[in-house]
A and B are shown apart, each in its own frame.
Chain A
Amino acid sequence: MSEQDDEPLDVLLREFFRDQLDVVRGRAEEHFRQHMRAASTTAWRRRVWLVGAFVSGLAASVAVLCAGPLFRHFERAPQLVRQDPPGPGPLAAAATLISPTFEKTVQSRTTDEGIVMLGDTPVRVVHRQSVERTRWFDGQDNVSAEEETPQDDVTLIKLTTY
Protein backbone atom coordinates (compact mmCIF):
# COMPACT_ATOMS: atom_id res chain seq x y z
CA MET A 1 0.00 0.00 0.00
CA SER A 2 1.53 3.33 -1.06
CA GLU A 3 1.50 6.64 0.88
CA GLN A 4 -0.96 7.94 -1.69
CA ASP A 5 -3.33 5.14 -0.82
CA ASP A 6 -3.05 6.05 2.85
CA GLU A 7 -3.75 9.73 2.34
CA PRO A 8 -7.52 9.64 2.97
CA LEU A 9 -6.94 7.63 6.13
CA ASP A 10 -4.22 10.05 7.28
CA VAL A 11 -6.50 13.02 6.70
CA LEU A 12 -9.36 11.32 8.46
CA LEU A 13 -7.24 10.45 11.49
CA ARG A 14 -5.58 13.87 11.72
CA GLU A 15 -8.94 15.60 11.62
CA PHE A 16 -10.44 13.18 14.10
CA PHE A 17 -7.68 13.67 16.66
CA ARG A 18 -7.71 17.43 16.17
CA ASP A 19 -11.47 17.43 16.67
CA GLN A 20 -11.21 15.35 19.82
CA LEU A 21 -8.17 16.80 21.52
CA ASP A 22 -7.76 20.42 20.43
CA VAL A 23 -10.84 21.39 22.42
CA VAL A 24 -9.28 20.17 25.69
CA ARG A 25 -5.87 21.75 25.17
CA GLY A 26 -4.74 24.47 27.57
CA ARG A 27 -6.49 23.01 30.57
CA ALA A 28 -3.35 21.44 32.00
CA GLU A 29 -1.50 24.74 32.27
CA GLU A 30 -4.49 26.47 33.83
CA HIS A 31 -4.90 23.62 36.26
CA PHE A 32 -1.23 23.79 37.17
CA ARG A 33 -1.47 27.53 37.82
CA GLN A 34 -4.53 27.00 40.01
CA HIS A 35 -2.65 24.28 41.87
CA MET A 36 0.26 26.63 42.47
CA ARG A 37 -2.05 29.38 43.70
CA ALA A 38 -3.78 26.96 46.07
CA ALA A 39 -0.44 25.61 47.28
CA SER A 40 0.80 29.14 47.84
CA THR A 41 -2.32 30.03 49.84
CA THR A 42 -2.01 26.88 51.90
CA ALA A 43 1.67 27.54 52.55
CA TRP A 44 0.89 31.14 53.54
CA ARG A 45 -1.84 29.99 55.94
CA ARG A 46 0.47 27.38 57.44
CA ARG A 47 3.19 29.99 57.86
CA VAL A 48 0.75 32.37 59.57
CA TRP A 49 -0.44 29.58 61.82
CA LEU A 50 3.12 28.63 62.75
CA VAL A 51 4.09 32.24 63.44
CA GLY A 52 0.92 32.68 65.51
CA ALA A 53 1.63 29.52 67.48
CA PHE A 54 5.22 30.62 68.06
CA VAL A 55 4.20 34.09 69.20
CA SER A 56 1.53 32.64 71.48
CA GLY A 57 4.02 30.24 72.98
CA LEU A 58 6.53 33.01 73.45
CA ALA A 59 3.91 35.22 75.12
CA ALA A 60 2.89 32.38 77.41
CA SER A 61 6.51 31.73 78.36
CA VAL A 62 7.11 35.41 79.11
CA ALA A 63 3.94 35.51 81.19
CA VAL A 64 5.05 32.49 83.20
CA LEU A 65 8.49 33.97 83.72
CA CYS A 66 7.00 37.25 84.92
CA ALA A 67 4.36 35.69 87.12
CA GLY A 68 6.59 32.98 88.59
CA PRO A 69 8.27 35.06 91.31
CA LEU A 70 4.90 36.44 92.28
CA PHE A 71 3.54 32.93 92.81
CA ARG A 72 6.65 31.94 94.73
CA HIS A 73 6.21 35.00 96.93
CA PHE A 74 2.66 33.99 97.74
CA GLU A 75 3.75 30.44 98.44
CA ARG A 76 6.42 31.51 100.91
CA ALA A 77 4.65 34.33 102.60
CA PRO A 78 2.30 32.23 104.78
CA GLN A 79 5.27 30.22 106.02
CA LEU A 80 6.96 33.34 107.22
CA VAL A 81 3.84 34.57 108.90
CA ARG A 82 2.91 31.27 110.44
CA GLN A 83 6.23 30.40 111.94
CA ASP A 84 7.18 32.18 115.09
CA PRO A 85 10.56 33.70 114.72
CA PRO A 86 13.21 32.00 116.80
CA GLY A 87 14.14 33.48 120.09
CA PRO A 88 16.77 36.07 120.44
CA GLY A 89 20.28 34.97 119.78
CA PRO A 90 22.96 34.99 117.15
CA LEU A 91 21.26 32.27 115.06
CA ALA A 92 18.03 34.15 115.02
CA ALA A 93 19.85 37.19 113.79
CA ALA A 94 21.58 35.12 111.16
CA ALA A 95 18.28 33.64 110.07
CA THR A 96 17.00 37.03 109.10
CA LEU A 97 19.95 37.51 106.78
CA ILE A 98 19.61 34.32 104.82
CA SER A 99 16.84 32.82 102.79
CA PRO A 100 13.72 32.43 104.90
CA THR A 101 13.37 28.71 104.27
CA PHE A 102 13.55 26.87 107.54
CA GLU A 103 12.11 23.88 109.33
CA LYS A 104 11.13 23.41 112.95
CA THR A 105 10.71 20.08 114.68
CA VAL A 106 9.67 19.34 118.27
CA GLN A 107 10.38 16.03 119.93
CA SER A 108 8.83 15.43 123.36
CA ARG A 109 8.35 12.69 125.92
CA THR A 110 5.89 12.79 128.81
CA THR A 111 6.09 10.35 131.70
CA ASP A 112 3.85 9.79 134.70
CA GLU A 113 6.16 9.55 137.72
CA GLY A 114 3.51 8.56 140.16
CA ILE A 115 1.87 10.13 143.19
CA VAL A 116 3.84 11.79 145.92
CA MET A 117 2.72 13.55 149.09
CA LEU A 118 3.34 17.21 149.17
CA GLY A 119 2.73 17.91 152.84
CA ASP A 120 -0.76 16.50 153.37
CA THR A 121 -1.80 16.78 149.74
CA PRO A 122 -1.30 13.95 147.30
CA VAL A 123 -0.07 15.12 143.87
CA ARG A 124 0.66 13.33 140.63
CA VAL A 125 4.05 14.13 139.13
CA VAL A 126 4.05 14.48 135.31
CA HIS A 127 7.46 14.93 133.71
CA ARG A 128 7.68 16.35 130.17
CA GLN A 129 10.97 16.57 128.30
CA SER A 130 11.19 18.16 124.87
CA VAL A 131 13.73 19.39 122.31
CA GLU A 132 12.73 22.07 119.83
CA ARG A 133 15.02 22.07 116.79
CA THR A 134 14.95 24.88 114.21
CA ARG A 135 16.99 24.70 111.03
CA TRP A 136 17.49 27.46 108.46
CA PHE A 137 19.00 26.81 105.11
CA ASP A 138 19.71 28.74 101.99
CA GLY A 139 19.90 26.54 98.92
CA GLN A 140 21.29 29.31 96.82
CA ASP A 141 24.39 29.89 98.92
CA ASN A 142 24.42 26.42 100.43
CA VAL A 143 24.45 27.84 103.95
CA SER A 144 22.55 26.36 106.88
CA ALA A 145 22.16 27.05 110.59
CA GLU A 146 20.58 25.05 113.36
CA GLU A 147 19.33 25.82 116.84
CA GLU A 148 18.19 23.34 119.51
CA THR A 149 16.21 24.33 122.58
CA PRO A 150 15.81 21.61 125.21
CA GLN A 151 13.01 21.94 127.69
CA ASP A 152 12.30 20.00 130.88
CA ASP A 153 8.99 20.58 132.70
CA VAL A 154 7.66 18.90 135.80
CA THR A 155 3.98 19.37 136.47
CA LEU A 156 2.33 18.57 139.79
CA ILE A 157 -1.34 17.78 139.58
CA LYS A 158 -3.27 17.99 142.80
CA LEU A 159 -5.39 14.92 143.50
CA THR A 160 -8.71 15.19 145.20
CA THR A 161 -9.14 13.12 148.33
CA TYR A 162 -12.46 11.91 149.69
Chain B
Amino acid sequence: METPGKALVERARRKDPEAFAALIRAYERVVLSVAFGVLGDPAAAADLAQDAFIRAWERLDDLREPERFATWLCGIVRNLAIDCLRSRRPVEPLLGREPAADPRWTHDPTDEVGRREQLAQVAAAIAALDEVSRPAIVLRYYEGLSSRQIAELLETSPAAIDMRLSRARKQLRAILGDLMREPKSVHEKG
Protein backbone atom coordinates (compact mmCIF):
# COMPACT_ATOMS: atom_id res chain seq x y z
CA MET B 1 0.00 0.00 0.00
CA GLU B 2 1.49 3.32 -1.03
CA THR B 3 0.71 5.80 1.67
CA PRO B 4 0.17 9.38 0.60
CA GLY B 5 2.34 11.93 2.31
CA LYS B 6 1.53 13.98 5.32
CA ALA B 7 1.43 17.02 3.04
CA LEU B 8 -1.61 15.63 1.23
CA VAL B 9 -3.40 15.10 4.51
CA GLU B 10 -2.49 18.61 5.60
CA ARG B 11 -3.88 20.00 2.35
CA ALA B 12 -7.09 18.06 2.90
CA ARG B 13 -7.29 19.45 6.43
CA ARG B 14 -7.17 22.90 4.90
CA LYS B 15 -10.31 21.85 3.02
CA ASP B 16 -8.71 21.17 -0.34
CA PRO B 17 -11.22 18.81 -2.04
CA GLU B 18 -8.73 17.63 -4.63
CA ALA B 19 -6.31 16.57 -1.93
CA PHE B 20 -9.06 14.66 -0.20
CA ALA B 21 -10.11 13.05 -3.47
CA ALA B 22 -6.52 11.85 -3.81
CA LEU B 23 -6.74 10.40 -0.31
CA ILE B 24 -9.94 8.61 -1.27
CA ARG B 25 -8.23 7.06 -4.27
CA ALA B 26 -5.31 6.01 -2.10
CA TYR B 27 -7.35 4.50 0.71
CA GLU B 28 -10.51 3.26 -0.94
CA ARG B 29 -9.31 -0.34 -1.11
CA VAL B 30 -8.32 -0.27 2.55
CA VAL B 31 -11.67 1.20 3.57
CA LEU B 32 -13.56 -1.30 1.43
CA SER B 33 -11.53 -4.13 2.94
CA VAL B 34 -12.31 -3.14 6.51
CA ALA B 35 -15.97 -2.47 5.75
CA PHE B 36 -16.36 -5.72 3.85
CA GLY B 37 -14.53 -7.55 6.62
CA VAL B 38 -17.10 -6.35 9.15
CA LEU B 39 -20.26 -6.36 7.03
CA GLY B 40 -19.58 -9.24 4.64
CA ASP B 41 -21.56 -7.54 1.88
CA PRO B 42 -19.83 -5.67 -0.97
CA ALA B 43 -22.74 -3.30 -1.67
CA ALA B 44 -23.10 -2.40 2.00
CA ALA B 45 -19.33 -2.00 2.24
CA ALA B 46 -19.37 0.40 -0.71
CA ASP B 47 -22.16 2.47 0.85
CA LEU B 48 -20.35 2.52 4.14
CA ALA B 49 -17.09 3.55 2.48
CA GLN B 50 -18.87 6.55 0.94
CA ASP B 51 -20.27 7.59 4.30
CA ALA B 52 -16.95 7.02 6.03
CA PHE B 53 -15.09 9.29 3.63
CA ILE B 54 -17.69 12.03 4.00
CA ARG B 55 -17.49 11.75 7.77
CA ALA B 56 -13.72 11.84 7.63
CA TRP B 57 -13.85 14.96 5.43
CA GLU B 58 -16.15 16.68 7.89
CA ARG B 59 -14.07 15.69 10.91
CA LEU B 60 -10.58 16.20 9.58
CA ASP B 61 -10.02 18.86 12.21
CA ASP B 62 -10.25 16.14 14.85
CA LEU B 63 -7.28 14.32 13.34
CA ARG B 64 -4.41 15.08 15.71
CA GLU B 65 -1.66 13.12 13.95
CA PRO B 66 -1.84 13.48 10.16
CA GLU B 67 0.67 10.68 9.72
CA ARG B 68 -1.87 8.31 11.30
CA PHE B 69 -4.62 9.26 8.87
CA ALA B 70 -5.16 5.66 7.70
CA THR B 71 -5.56 4.35 11.25
CA TRP B 72 -7.92 7.17 12.10
CA LEU B 73 -9.91 6.50 8.93
CA CYS B 74 -10.15 2.79 9.68
CA GLY B 75 -11.44 3.65 13.14
CA ILE B 76 -14.24 5.64 11.53
CA VAL B 77 -15.01 2.75 9.18
CA ARG B 78 -15.13 0.19 11.98
CA ASN B 79 -17.39 2.37 14.12
CA LEU B 80 -19.76 3.01 11.23
CA ALA B 81 -19.77 -0.66 10.31
CA ILE B 82 -20.57 -1.71 13.87
CA ASP B 83 -23.38 0.88 14.01
CA CYS B 84 -24.64 -0.47 10.69
CA LEU B 85 -24.62 -4.04 11.98
CA ARG B 86 -26.53 -2.99 15.10
CA SER B 87 -29.17 -1.06 13.21
CA ARG B 88 -29.92 -3.35 10.31
CA ARG B 89 -32.28 -6.21 10.66
CA PRO B 90 -30.84 -9.65 10.31
CA VAL B 91 -30.89 -10.85 6.74
CA GLU B 92 -30.08 -14.11 5.11
CA PRO B 93 -26.70 -13.20 3.75
CA LEU B 94 -25.02 -14.39 0.64
CA LEU B 95 -22.57 -15.79 3.16
CA GLY B 96 -25.01 -17.81 5.21
CA ARG B 97 -24.82 -21.22 3.67
CA GLU B 98 -22.90 -24.19 4.78
CA PRO B 99 -20.07 -24.79 2.30
CA ALA B 100 -20.45 -27.66 -0.13
CA ALA B 101 -23.85 -28.53 1.27
CA ASP B 102 -25.84 -27.90 -1.87
CA PRO B 103 -26.16 -30.97 -4.12
CA ARG B 104 -26.76 -28.74 -7.14
CA TRP B 105 -23.20 -27.45 -6.91
CA THR B 106 -21.36 -27.95 -10.16
CA HIS B 107 -18.02 -27.15 -11.77
CA ASP B 108 -19.38 -26.72 -15.25
CA PRO B 109 -17.51 -23.68 -16.65
CA THR B 110 -20.59 -22.50 -18.43
CA ASP B 111 -22.78 -22.74 -15.38
CA GLU B 112 -23.20 -19.31 -13.79
CA VAL B 113 -25.19 -20.86 -10.99
CA GLY B 114 -22.26 -23.09 -10.13
CA ARG B 115 -19.96 -20.10 -10.05
CA ARG B 116 -22.28 -18.30 -7.71
CA GLU B 117 -22.35 -21.30 -5.49
CA GLN B 118 -18.58 -21.29 -5.34
CA LEU B 119 -18.59 -17.62 -4.39
CA ALA B 120 -21.19 -18.32 -1.76
CA GLN B 121 -19.01 -21.04 -0.29
CA VAL B 122 -16.01 -18.76 -0.01
CA ALA B 123 -18.18 -16.01 1.43
CA ALA B 124 -19.64 -18.38 3.97
CA ALA B 125 -16.22 -19.59 4.98
CA ILE B 126 -15.01 -16.01 5.49
CA ALA B 127 -18.16 -15.14 7.40
CA ALA B 128 -17.37 -17.94 9.80
CA LEU B 129 -14.16 -16.19 10.90
CA ASP B 130 -14.09 -13.92 13.94
CA GLU B 131 -14.61 -10.18 13.56
CA VAL B 132 -10.91 -9.29 13.84
CA SER B 133 -9.67 -11.99 11.50
CA ARG B 134 -12.11 -11.07 8.73
CA PRO B 135 -10.83 -7.53 8.11
CA ALA B 136 -7.28 -8.82 8.49
CA ILE B 137 -7.83 -11.50 5.85
CA VAL B 138 -9.40 -8.99 3.46
CA LEU B 139 -6.60 -6.49 3.99
CA ARG B 140 -4.02 -9.21 3.38
CA TYR B 141 -5.57 -10.74 0.27
CA TYR B 142 -7.29 -7.79 -1.34
CA GLU B 143 -4.92 -4.96 -0.49
CA GLY B 144 -1.83 -7.13 -0.01
CA LEU B 145 -0.75 -5.52 3.23
CA SER B 146 1.90 -6.87 5.55
CA SER B 147 1.06 -7.92 9.07
CA ARG B 148 2.69 -4.76 10.40
CA GLN B 149 0.56 -2.55 8.16
CA ILE B 150 -2.59 -4.45 9.05
CA ALA B 151 -1.74 -4.22 12.74
CA GLU B 152 -1.30 -0.47 12.44
CA LEU B 153 -4.66 -0.04 10.71
CA LEU B 154 -6.53 -2.28 13.13
CA GLU B 155 -4.65 -0.91 16.14
CA THR B 156 -3.22 -4.19 17.33
CA SER B 157 0.19 -5.88 17.26
CA PRO B 158 1.78 -7.55 14.21
CA ALA B 159 2.16 -10.74 16.25
CA ALA B 160 -1.54 -10.80 16.99
CA ILE B 161 -2.29 -10.31 13.29
CA ASP B 162 0.08 -13.12 12.33
CA MET B 163 -1.61 -15.41 14.80
CA ARG B 164 -5.07 -14.52 13.59
CA LEU B 165 -4.11 -14.87 9.93
CA SER B 166 -2.59 -18.27 10.60
CA ARG B 167 -5.69 -19.49 12.41
CA ALA B 168 -7.94 -18.02 9.78
CA ARG B 169 -6.08 -19.74 6.95
CA LYS B 170 -6.26 -23.02 8.80
CA GLN B 171 -10.00 -22.59 9.29
CA LEU B 172 -10.54 -21.60 5.66
CA ARG B 173 -8.51 -24.54 4.39
CA ALA B 174 -10.64 -26.86 6.47
CA ILE B 175 -13.88 -25.38 5.11
CA LEU B 176 -12.80 -24.85 1.51
CA GLY B 177 -10.64 -27.92 1.10
CA ASP B 178 -12.81 -29.50 -1.57
CA LEU B 179 -13.13 -26.29 -3.48
CA MET B 180 -9.34 -25.77 -3.57
CA ARG B 181 -8.82 -29.23 -4.97
CA GLU B 182 -10.97 -28.37 -7.96
CA PRO B 183 -8.99 -27.77 -11.13
CA LYS B 184 -10.45 -24.35 -11.90
CA SER B 185 -10.70 -21.27 -9.73
CA VAL B 186 -13.87 -19.30 -9.30
CA HIS B 187 -12.81 -16.77 -11.94
CA GLU B 188 -11.74 -18.96 -14.71
CA LYS B 189 -15.29 -19.15 -15.92
CA GLY B 190 -16.91 -16.67 -18.23
Contact = CB atoms under 8 A, between A and B. Distances in A.
Given A13-B172, A16-B119, A21 B142 contact: yes
Interface string A6-20: 101111111111111
B46 A33 contact: no
26 contacts: A8-B181, A9-B169, A9-B176, A9-B180, A12-B179, A12-B185, A13-B122, A15-B185, A15-B186, A16-B126, A18-B187, A21-B29, A21-B33, A24-B43, A25-B28, A26-B28, A27-B49, A27-B50, A28-B24, A31-B50, A31-B53, A31-B54, A32-B17, A32-B53, A35-B54, A36-B17
Contact of B24 (A1, A6, A29): A29
Contacts of B68: none
Which bucket holds chain B's interface residue count? 35 or more
Nearest to A36: B17
A16 B36 contact: no
A23 B49 contact: no
A34 B14 CA distance: 19
Nearest to A35: B54
B128 to A, nearest CB: 14
B36 A20 contact: yes
Contacts of B28: 25-26, 28-29
A17 B169 contact: no
B32 A25 contact: yes
B96 interface: no
A27 B21 CA distance: 11
Counting chain A CB atoms within 10 Å of each CB, the highest count among B141, B172, B186 belongs to B141
Which bucket holds chain A's interface residue count? 20 to 34
Contact of B137 (A1, A11, A13, A25): A13
A18 to B, nearest CB: 7
B45 interface: yes
Contacts of B42: 20-21, 23-24
B142 A27 contact: no
| Majority secondary structure of chain B interface residues (helix, strand, loop or mixed) | helix
Counting chain B CB atoms within 10 Å of each CB, the highest count among A13, A14, A29 belongs to A13
B25 interface: yes
Contacts of A13: 122, 137, 141, 172
A6 B24 CA distance: 32
Given A23-B42, A29-B28, A9 B50 contact: no
Contact of B21 (A15, A23, A32): A32
B141 A14 contact: yes
Nearest to B20: A32
A36 to B, nearest CB: 5
A64 B43 CA distance: 60
A27 B46 contact: yes
Given A11-B185, A12-B122, A15-B185, A28 B50 contact: yes
Contact of B187 (A19, A21, A28): A19
A6 B138 contact: no
B170 interface: yes
Contact of B186 (A9, A19, A24, A26): A19
B50 A16 contact: no
Contacts of A21: 29, 32-33, 36, 42, 45, 142
A126 B32 CA distance: 110
